[in-house]
């Protein structure tokens, strides 16, 4: 595939569309602006002012066309680059054959074998292996599903065009189809007319499960089996070592739209998808299992199973009469009919009622007869569709993806406090300090379960929280524990927060086996995490609960709020230290630890290459177990196609296997840790001095970024701020915080404080740390990309929007100085002449994109200036300007390949 030629084709077709659908004059204006942006990047003295004047002269209608032109261009270019990535991956694999591709599962197993890992060590690693990818609805995911579907059709056409065997007339017809699809994309509204509902986000997530993960995950399983057969014959992992979970429809934290009814409906949609896919697979399998019982005799256990199923459903009885000697076909048809019957179960209603009910089918009722068939058939036949179906049944079960439940600790404490007041048990629980709350909880655990009404809370919020625990109990009783993932407590600050959940779960009779996961997010909570766990493990009531959970504890760490709290360097160091110390606490208490990483797409929120990030974790913290969020933005890039999804997943598994190897490098040298502590403190102080201690900084942020307009976007079901706290720094969520700084090209959360921190360490020592310590190398490499994506000249234009000029100049001078310090320090540590010299592909991509992103920034600044000058911010002219701003937000996000 010729990348340049394909991009040129797409660009020419887009240009033709603009000429046809708008006018040749508007297309010429787009070209003028593009050329001025390129001249600006080529250090033309006059180009910046000329570009600004050109943009200032645009009417809102024309500005909308210009913004659309660059935004659609980036959507199309991103699409082509993703297609090219797949092409390149396939070429590399072909060239290396029979050697495994780098960062593949086969590569990891071969490396472990070459290192001399024993069979016993490998079996222990495989026994522990458990990787779970957790899908979330990104609150700033900026594309409509309608737009995504059109882009998928365009991608399909470009892939077909790459076929060298096309006839001239076929190529001409495809190019006509491509032009029509681009025209349709141009004429489609890019922004939603209404904010999506939670159910819409659930369906979007399940679309990815159905169209990407369903066939990709079994392929990954097959590759691990093949690699083990070559290097460690006879060894295997569990049938569920790689699975999916989701937060969409179960994440209540700050989202009042996620109710018990929504969660019940989400579970129905999950189960419905799994049942329908398995039903179709069994139907297809029935057509393939035409083996005669005369040639492949049916084992006795399978005969008994079939006899016990009589009388048969009508269609199965028909098949039995027609295909008298084909029992394998018959059994698959019976199972397909069972699933069809199960699909008619009104699951949502069943979950919301209290009358006794039993699920119409269980997973074991499917897997047991299929395992009998697999043993009966010749291995070559069983290895094909039957084995794939068996894998899909184990991976996806009857729930597609486990649904996690998450709620804020303060909401849970308030709910329990209200219940206690309603019961007359304790009137001041929420106001008590930690010691007093623990004492109250200990007393309540020792007492009998109180007689609770269905909704004992005083407020609607408390009734909803209590209803959630009742729903958990109902799901477990009717459909089993497999449907639900852990219960995650966001902003967990103490052992009492964890015990509050355990008590509510015990009262609802759903505590046994329920994994309760504290989420540590702020710097203070990350520092306190080891002691919180140690205190929990010392309590008999919690140790008993862990026993019901297989003596396993999951701990979630957040990469976002710590960054907003103390900056990039301090957050990353505290995350590293917390993982190391939490692992030590769990080891001391003989408890299996799984660290759940709440990573986002941007560097500021834990983004960066997944393989590098996993291998940079502290030794002893992975141990074969990894749970990590896959947020909306990263889903759109890493799982855009089955091939890209496969590559991303195999890189994750490759890293988990190597990071879990028994001979992995020891903990970081004491000298390195001491240096990191000093650098982290200096970086944190610099960051907090700017963001949290500078008078007027919140005003600067509100004025020099489009945060107010981001807050209005109809791109997610969840509000921008926690607990309705408005757009104050302490209340705004980390995702829109990062998004706003990325849009204005400061990219502040991805690097600020780094320069001051790195200035506190010896250069030679940092050089050794960069060379020999994976954590420090990942820290520097990720920051290097953040710095390259930042642009102080573009940021200066946003600074001009701040009305307090003295404040603006003071703060911006501080930011510029810190940027220069960070850039110079990183270049010194890496030995690079320019940022990202070590990765010329990414470096070239960013530099090539900049001239196309810059016009969108110029447009955004000009439109923000006009909007803020209007006397009525809710007038029709204001809405007209906001339409342009939203287009620029979409375009900049697509151009930088980052939202929040």
Alpha carbons 691 and 900: distance in angstroms, whole number: 18
Tally: H helices and E strands in the chain = 40, 8
Question: What b/e sequence results for 448-473 when a residue is b if at least 16 CB atoms lie within 10 Å of its CB, and e otherwise?
Answer: eeeeeeeebbeeeebbbbbbbbbbbb
Q: Are 301 and 372 in contact (CB under 8 A)?
A: yes
DSSP string, 163-218: -TT--HHHHHHHHHHHHHHHHHHHTS-SS-SSPPPHHHHHHHHHHHIIIIIHHHHH
564 is annotated as an active-site residue:
yes
**Residue of 493, 564, 597, 789 marked catalytic:** 564
Strands 516-520 and 625-630: unpaired
Alpha carbon distance 824, 72 (integer Å) = 36
Q: Are 125 and 657 in contact (CB under 8 A)?
A: yes
CA distances from 91 to 2, 84, 98, 583, 653 (A): 13, 10, 13, 41, 22
Cis status of the peptide bond prior to 498, with omega within 30 of 0: no
Neighbour tally for 382: CB within 10 Å: 16
CA distances from residue 412 to 149, 416, 461, 509 in whole angstroms, order as listed: 39, 6, 10, 17
Q: Which two tokens stand for residue 789?
A: 């994506």
Please tell me the distance from the alpha carbon of residue 727 to that of residue 600, in angstroms, as a whole number: 21
Cα separation, 568 vs 549, whole angstroms: 35
Instruction: Give the closest residue to 884 by CA, choosing from 864, 855, 869, 868.
Output: 864
Using the Cα atoms of residue 230, residue 215, residue 154 and residue 30 in order, give the sign of their dihedral. negative
Q: What is the DSSP string of 75-142?
A: HHHHHHHHHHHHHHHHHHHHHHTTSPPTTSHHHHHHHHHHTT--HHHHHHHHHH-EEEEEE---TT--
DSSP H helices, 424-539, are 434-446, 460-479, 495-507, 523-537
**Cα–Cα distance measured from residue 527 to residue 885, given in angstroms and rounded to the nearest whole number:** 40
Q: Please tell me the distance from the alpha carbon of residue 392 to that of residue 244, in angstroms, as a whole number.
A: 12
Q: What is the dihedral of CA 309, 310, 314, 316, to 10 degrees?
A: 50
In degrees and rounded to multiples of 5, residue 487 shows phi and psi of: -100, 115
Task: Look at residues 879, 756, 850 and name the one whose alpha carbon lies nearest to residue 60.
Answer: 879
Indicate which residues carry an active-site annotation. 138, 564
């Amino acid at each position: 595939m010729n990348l340049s030629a394909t991009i040129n084709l797409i660009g020419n077709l887009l240009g033709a569309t603009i000429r046809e659908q708008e006018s040749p004059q508007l297309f010429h204006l787009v070209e003028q602006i593009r050329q001025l942006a390129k001249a600006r990047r080529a250090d033309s003295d006059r180009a910046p002012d000329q570009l600004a004047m050109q943009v200032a002269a645009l009417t809102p209608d024309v500005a909308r066309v210009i913004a659309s032109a660059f935004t659609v261009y980036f959507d199309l270019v991103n699409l082509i680059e993703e297609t090219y990535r797949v092409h390149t991956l396939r070429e590399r694999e072909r060239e290396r054959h029979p050697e495994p591709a780098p960062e593949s599962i086969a590569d990891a197993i071969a490396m472990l074998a070459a290192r001399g890992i024993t069979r016993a060590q490998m079996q222990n690693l495989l026994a522990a292996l458990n990787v779970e990818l957790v899908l979330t609805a990104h609150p700033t995911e900026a594309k409509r599903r309608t737009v995504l579907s059109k882009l998928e059709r365009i991608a399909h056409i470009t892939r077909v065009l790459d076929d060298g065997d096309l006839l001239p007339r076929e190529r001409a017809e495809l190019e006509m189809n491509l032009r029509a699809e681009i025209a349709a994309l141009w004429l489609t509204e890019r922004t939603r007319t209404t904010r999506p509902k939670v159910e819409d986000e659930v369906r979007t997530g399940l679309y990815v499960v159905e169209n990407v993960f369903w066939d990709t995950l079994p392929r990954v399983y097959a590759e691990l089996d093949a690699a083990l057969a070559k290097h460690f014959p006879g060894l295997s992992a569990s049938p569920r070592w790689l699975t999916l979970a989701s937060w969409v429809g179960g994440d209540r934290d700050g989202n009042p739209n996620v109710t018990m009814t929504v969660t019940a409906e989400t579970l129905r949609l999950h189960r419905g998808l799994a049942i329908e896919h398995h039903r179709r697979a069994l139907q297809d399998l029935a057509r393939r299992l035409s083996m005669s019982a005369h040639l492949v005799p049916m084992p006795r256990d399978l005969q008994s199973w079939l006899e016990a199923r009589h009388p048969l459903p009508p269609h199965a009885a028909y098949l039995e009469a027609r295909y008298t000697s084909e029992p394998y076909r018959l059994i698959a048809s019976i199972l397909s009919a069972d699933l069809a019957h199960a699909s008619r179960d009104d699951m949502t209603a069943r979950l919301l009622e209290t009358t006794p009910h039993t699920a119409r089918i269980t997973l074991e009722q499917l897997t047991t007869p299929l395992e009998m068939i697999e043993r009966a058939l010749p291995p070559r036949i069983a290895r094909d569709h039957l084995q794939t179906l068996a894998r899909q049944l184990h991976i996806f079960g009857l729930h597609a993806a486990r649904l996690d439940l998450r709620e804020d600790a303060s909401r849970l404490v308030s709910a329990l406090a209200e219940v206690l007041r309603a019961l007359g048990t304790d009137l001041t629980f929420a106001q008590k300090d930690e010691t007093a709350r623990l004492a109250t909880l200990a007393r309540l655990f020792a007492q009998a379960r109180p007689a609770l009404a269905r909704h004992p809370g005083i407020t609607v919020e408390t009734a909803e929280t209590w209803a959630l625990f009742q729903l958990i109990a109902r799901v477990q009783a009717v459909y089993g524990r497999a449907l639900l993932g852990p219960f995650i407590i966001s902003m967990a600050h103490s052992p009492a927060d964890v015990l509050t959940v355990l008590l509510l779960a015990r009262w609802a009779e759903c505590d046994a086996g329920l994994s309760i996961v504290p989420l540590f997010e702020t710097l203070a909570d990350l520092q306190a995490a080891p002691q919180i766990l140690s205190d929990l493990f010392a309590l008999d009531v919690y140790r008993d609960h862990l026993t019901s959970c297989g003596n396993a504890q999951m701990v979630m760490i957040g990469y976002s709020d710590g960054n907003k709290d103390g900056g990039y360097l301090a957050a990353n160091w505290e995350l590293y230290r917390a993982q190391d110390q939490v692992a030590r606490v769990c080891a001391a208490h003989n408890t299996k630890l799984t660290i759940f990483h709440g990573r986002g797409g941007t560097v500021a929120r834990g983004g960066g290459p997944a393989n590098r990030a996993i291998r940079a974790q502290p030794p002893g913290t992975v141990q074969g177990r990894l749970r990590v969020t896959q947020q909306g933005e990263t889903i759109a890039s890493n799982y855009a196609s089955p091939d890209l999804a496969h590559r991303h997943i195999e890189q994750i598994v490759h890293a988990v296997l190597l990071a879990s190897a028994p001979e992995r490098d020891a903990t970081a040298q004491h000298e390195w840790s001491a240096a990191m502590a000093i650098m982290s403190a200096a970086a944190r102080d610099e960051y907090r001095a700017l963001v949290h201690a500078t008078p007027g900084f919140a005003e600067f942020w509100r004025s020099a970024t489009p945060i107010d307009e981001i807050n209005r976007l109809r791109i997610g079901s969840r509000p921008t701020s926690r607990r309705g706290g408005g757009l104050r720094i302490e209340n705004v969520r980390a995702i829109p915080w990062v998004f706003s700084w990325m849009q204005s090209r400061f990219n502040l959360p991805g690097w600020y404080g780094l320069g001051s921190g790195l200035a506190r360490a010896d250069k030679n020592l940092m050089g050794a740390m960069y060379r020999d310590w994976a954590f420090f190398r990942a820290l520097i490499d990720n920051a290097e990309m953040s710095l390259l994506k930042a642009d102080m000249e573009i940021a200066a234009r946003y600074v001009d929007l701040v009305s307090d000029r003295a404040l603006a100049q003071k703060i911006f001078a501080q930011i510029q100085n810190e940027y220069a310090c960070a850039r110079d320090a990183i270049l010194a540590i890496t030995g690079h002449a320019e940022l990202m010299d070590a990765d010329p592909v990414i470096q070239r991509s960013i530099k090539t994109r900049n001239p196309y992103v810059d016009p969108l920034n110029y447009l955004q600044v000009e439109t923000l200036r006009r909007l803020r000058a209007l006397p009525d911010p809710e007038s029709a002219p204001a809405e007209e300007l906001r339409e342009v701003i939203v287009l620029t937000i979409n375009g900049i996000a697509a151009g930088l390949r980052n939202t929040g």
